[in-house]
């Protein structure tokens, strides 16, 4: 996972390795600012946990432990020290695994921490996902100063979590809200999370 500033980097194994990434199966995924890099690292580790043969302990247990920490962070249970623990585990797994899968499995963590550390900090310290991808870290509120009581969000909420009526400021009932984002998508300038 490398940031936009390296968009012009040559796409070959050696150059990508210098940036901390690898060209696994010859594929490349381009992501935008709406992609949560913490969740992306979690996604890759989830895949790698299934791919690990389990023969060597550093790979098998290290990936499982790193995935658990990433899942906790994405679900709002991240805590102080998780970043440092991820870095330490990643280095141990990288240096002590017996095969290439284990040796490169920590790359998504190491590169996202290297280039997108602020996203980890937002998840852990502020309990917010800057991209609104991690649902447990997202709550939607209607800005009363901007609400025009037009009923659009109320009518489009799939679970009826918006209270209000014609001429009444609308309010999101957090106990009913599934955090699907429909309200935000249809009326983004009147919502904040």
Q: Place 192 in a pLDDT band, splitting at 50, 70 and 90.
A: low
For residue range 44-72, what is the model confidence (pLDDT) as tens digits?
Answer: 999 999 999 989 999 999 999 999 999 99
**What does the pLDDT read at residue 191?**
64
Q: Place 3 in a pLDDT band, splitting at 50, 70 and 90.
A: confident
The burial class, CB within 10 Å (0-12 / 13-18 / 19+), for 127 is middle
Distance CA 151, CA 68 (A): 41
Going from the C-alpha of 32 to that of each of 3, 29, 37, 71, 97, the distances in angstroms are: 10, 10, 10, 21, 32
Tokens 């999101």 — which residue? Answer: 172
> Is 70 exceeded by the pLDDT of residue 176?
yes
What mean pLDDT value characterizes the chain? 89
Mean of pLDDT values over 73-83: 97
For the chain, give the percent of residues with pLDDT over 90.
Answer: 63
Q: Place 181 in a pLDDT band, splitting at 50, 70 and 90.
A: confident
The domains found in the chain, sorted by start residue, are: 4-125 (1.20.1440.230), 139-192 (3.30.70.20)
- Please report, in angstroms and rounded to a whole number, the separation of the first and last CA atoms in the chain: 26
What global pTM score does this model have?
A: 0.78
- Lowest-confidence region among 23-32, 80-89, 167-176: 23-32
Mean of pLDDT values over 174-179: 93
Q: For the chain, list the strands marked E by DSSP.
A: 141-142, 162-165, 168-172, 191-192
């Amino acid at each position: 996972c490398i940031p936009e500033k390296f968009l012009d980097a040559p796409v070959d194994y050696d150059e990508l390795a210098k940036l901390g990434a690898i060209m696994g199966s010859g594929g490349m995924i381009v992501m935008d600012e709406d992609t949560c890099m913490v969740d992306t690292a979690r996604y890759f580790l989830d895949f790698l946990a299934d791919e690990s043969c389990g023969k060597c302990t550093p790979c098998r247990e290290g990936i499982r432990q790193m995935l658990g920490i990433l899942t906790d962070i994405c679900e709002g249970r991240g805590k102080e020290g998780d970043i440092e623990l991820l870095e330490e585990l990643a280095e141990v797994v990288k240096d002590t695994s017996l095969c290439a899968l284990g040796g490169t499995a920590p790359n998504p963590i190491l590169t996202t921490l290297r280039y997108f550390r602020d996203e980890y900090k937002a998840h852990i310290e502020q309990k917010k996902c800057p991209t609104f991808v991690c649902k447990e870290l997202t709550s939607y509120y209607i800005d009363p100063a901007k609400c025009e009581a037009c009923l659009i969000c109320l009518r489009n909420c799939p679970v009826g979590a918006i209270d209000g009526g014609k001429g009444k400021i609308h309010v999101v009932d957090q106990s009913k809200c599934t955090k699907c984002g429909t309200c935000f998508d249809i009326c983004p300038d009147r919502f904040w999370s």
